[in-house]
């Protein structure tokens, strides 16, 4: 991750307060194990103080074709990025980290989303959404470990465009996504929950079970969501959400 360290002052200067690195790793691993991959997802925990992949769910093999014990370093994943996407993904990732490396800092409810092409073991490029956020930080709010979620969204997004946005509290002086003047739709809390589950690949029956509501209620919410967004189907909805920074 030298390209990250070279662009983030607190990492480059090693100004991290870590009394017990091994304890920090165990804490991060305990936290990431509470994540439950859904459908075509895998999760991981990454250390910024020793550059290791601390944990990787077994489902990584279903998405990329590699067993988790073969992946020890985050650079492995960057090596799978399509050559035409790689530099832009690095640029956007650095931009996101720099946004939180100032006095404001990244908060636990900040989540960075980026969609780009990655290659599996068979050499096939798939559209992958990567979500990244704070797992643990030191007493000065410097990032120590992060969580990551890879989701195969090829069935929802066939565009070659790299899409990215940050969710969470506004970072002063920083606007990660420019919605180009598009007026955002005001989705309700329940609608946002359903959209999030749709993005994870769940169908209406699975959403019904997850949220403890009837399939008919899910159907009604989905129709309202589609109408509000001005799209025709779920695939277009996902594209709309990604492009407009939800």
Is residue 80 a contact partner of residue 73, using CB atoms and an 8 Å limit?
Answer: no
User: Is pLDDT at 232 greater than 60 in this prediction?
Assistant: yes
pTM of the model: 0.68
- By mean pLDDT, which of 3-12, 79-88, 142-151, 220-229 is the weakest? 3-12
Distances (CA, A) of 164 to 116, 142, 197: 9, 23, 19
Chain centre distance of CA 208: 24
Q: 221 phi and psi, to 5 degrees?
A: -60, -40
Paired with 164 in beta bridges are 114
Q: Where are the domains of the chain?
A: 2-167, 189-243
Q: CA-to-CA distance for 207 and 217, rounded, in angstroms? A: 10
And the tokens for 69?
């014990």
Residue 8 has a pLDDT of 53
Instruction: Give the CATH class of 2-167.
Output: alpha beta
To the question of domain 189-243 being in CATH 1.10.10.60, the answer is: no
User: Is pLDDT at 55 greater than 90 in this prediction?
Assistant: yes
Give me the half-sphere count of Cα atoms (radius 13 Å) on the Cβ side of residue 177: 20
């Amino acid at each position: 991750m030298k390209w990250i360290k070279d662009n983030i002052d607190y990492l480059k200067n090693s100004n991290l307060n870590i009394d017990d690195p091994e304890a920090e790793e165990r804490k991060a691993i305990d936290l990431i194990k509470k994540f439950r991959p859904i459908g075509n997802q895998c999760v991981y925990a990454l250390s910024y103080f020793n550059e290791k992949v601390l944990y990787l769910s077994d489902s990584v093999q279903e998405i990329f074709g590699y067993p988790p014990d073969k992946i020890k370093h985050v650079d492995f994943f960057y090596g799978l990025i399509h050559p035409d996407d790689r530099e832009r993904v690095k640029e956007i990732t650095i931009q996101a980290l720099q946004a939180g490396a100032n006095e404001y800092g990244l908060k636990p409810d900040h989540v960075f989303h980026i969609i780009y092409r990655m290659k599996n073991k068979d050499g096939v490029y798939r559209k992958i959404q990567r979500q990244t956020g704070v797992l643990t930080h030191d007493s000065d709010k410097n990032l120590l470990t992060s969580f990551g979620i890879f989701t195969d969204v090829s069935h929802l997004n066939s565009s070659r465009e790299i899409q990215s946005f940050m969710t969470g509290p506004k970072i002063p002086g920083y606007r990660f996504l420019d919605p180009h003047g598009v007026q955002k739709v005001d989705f309700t809390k329940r609608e946002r929950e359903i959209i999030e589950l749709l993005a994870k690949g769940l169908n209406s029956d699975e959403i019904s079970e997850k949220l403890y509501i009837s399939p008919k209620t899910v159907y009604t919410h989905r129709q309202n969501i589609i109408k509000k967004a001005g799209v025709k189907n779920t695939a277009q909805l996902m594209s709309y959400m990604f492009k407009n920074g939800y």
